[in-house]
Amino acid sequence: MSQSNEILVRVRDADKVFRRGSEEIHVLSGLNLEVPKGEFLALMGPSGSGKSTLLNLIGGLDRATRGTVEIGGERIDSMSDRQLAGWRARHIGLVFQFYNLLPVLTAERNVELPLLLTHLSKGERRQHVEAALKVVNLSHRARHYPRTLSGGEQQRTGIARAIVTDPTLLLCDEPTGDLDRKSGDEILSLLQALNREQGKTIIMVTHDPHASARATRTVHLDKGQLVTEPAP
C-alpha cells in the first residue's frame, strides 16, 4: 500500500506552555504539521525540543495551550476528557520506549486490554488478540509474563497491543530507545511492514538516525518549532 494525498493529521498554530511556579516554559510555539494518511513519519530533534509533547497532542494525551489539532477531520482539541478517551480507544495505538506492559498480565492479556473497551465478546477478543500476536510473530509467547520476555519481545507485545483495535494512527515514542541494535532493527522492520503492507499511518519519535531512515519522511524539531518539513 502507498500513502494517499488525504491529510490525516493536521496541527495548526499549536503552542504548548508548561508552568513551573511563576515560570512559563514554551515547549511548542506556533507549530504547524500535516501528515498524510499512510505515511511513516519520523520526528527527530534534541532532548527538550518538544517531540514527545507534539506526539501527546496528536494522540489526545495532552492539550495544546493554543491552536488546533485535527485527526481524520475531527477536532480533538475541543473534545471533553470523556470524548477524548473514547476517541483514543477507537483511533490511536501507542507504542512506548519502555514498553509499559502490565507486569501482572500475560502477553495475551496485555494485548487484550484495549479490547476491553469495546463491545466484543470474549471469543471475539481472543480472535483479535491471536491475530495481533501473529502479526508480531509472538503467538508462541502469548501466555508468558513480561518479565520472562526479552526487550524485543516485550516491544513486539506492545506493538500487538497498539494494533489490536486496528487504530487509525500508530504513535511510537522512541520504540527502539531501550533495545539493542538487532532487536531495534526487528521492531523497525515490523513498523515498516505495518506501514507498507497494512497502510498504517505511523508517527515515530526517535533520536536515532538509523531508525528515522526507515521512515518515509523525517521532520526535525528544535525549540518547539519544525526546522524542516518538506511538503508531503
Partner 1 sequence: MKFLPLVWCNLKRKKLRTSLTILSILVAFLLFGFLCALKQSLTVGVSMAGADRLIARHKISLIMLLPESYKARMQRIPGVAAAVHQTWFGGIYQDPKNFFASMPVEPAEFRAMFPEFVLPDEQVKAWETKRNGGIVGRVTAERFGWKIGDRIPIRSPIWQRAGGNDGWEFDLVGIFDGAKKGTDLSQFFFRYDYFDEARARGKGQVGWYTVRIENPENAAEIARTIDAEFANSPYETKTEPEGAFAQGFAQQVGDIGKMLIAILSAVFFTILLVAGNTMAQAVRERTEELGVLKAMGFTNELVLALVLAESMVITAAGGLAGLGLAWLVAANGSPAPSILPVFYLPPRDVLIGVGLVGALGLVAGLLPAVQAMRLQIAVALRRQG
Please list every residue from 166 through 225 that binds partner 1, using CB under 8 A.
none
Pairing outcome for strands 225-228 and 217-222: antiparallel
37's CB contacts (< 8 A; 6+ apart) are 3, 4, 6, 7, 8, 199, 201
Cα distance between residue 126 and residue 112, in whole Å: 8
25 binds partner 1 (CB under 8 A): no
Contact range with partner 1 by CB under 8 A, out of 2-10, 37-45, 52-60, 193-201: 52-60
Q: Which is nearer to partner 1, 3 or 172 (CB)?
A: 172
Cα distance between residue 221 and residue 226, in whole Å: 4
**Three-class SS state of 146:** helix
C-alpha cell at 111: 494485548
Contact mark string toward partner 1, 132..171, x via CB under 8 A: -----------------------------x----------
79 binds partner 1 (CB under 8 A): no
116 binds partner 1 (CB under 8 A): yes
Task: Identify the CA nearest to 160 among candidates 124, 117, 108.
Answer: 108
Q: Which is nearer to partner 1, 38 or 164 (CB)?
A: 164
Please list every residue from 80 through 99 that binds partner 1, using CB under 8 A.
81-82, 85-90, 92, 94, 96-98
Burial class (CB in 10 A: 0-12, 13-18, 19+), 191: buried
Q: Total residues at the site for partner 1 (CB under 8 A)?
A: 31
State which amino acid sits at residue 82. R
| Shortest distance (Å) from residue 117 CB to partner 1 | 5
| Shortest distance (Å) from residue 1 CB to partner 1 | 26
Q: How many residues does the chain have?
A: 232
Instruction: Using CB under 8 A, pick the residue from 29, 68, 100, 139 that binds partner 1.
Output: 100
131 binds partner 1 (CB under 8 A): no
Query: Are 176 and 190 within 8 A, CB to CB?
Result: no
61 binds partner 1 (CB under 8 A): yes
Contact range with partner 1 by CB under 8 A, out of 59-67, 146-154, 209-217, 222-230: 59-67
| Shortest distance (Å) from residue 196 CB to partner 1 | 25
Burial class (CB in 10 A: 0-12, 13-18, 19+), 143: exposed
Q: Which residues bind partner 1 (CB under 8 A)?
A: 52-53, 56, 59, 61-62, 81-82, 85-90, 92, 94, 96-98, 100, 102-105, 109, 113-114, 116-117, 122, 161
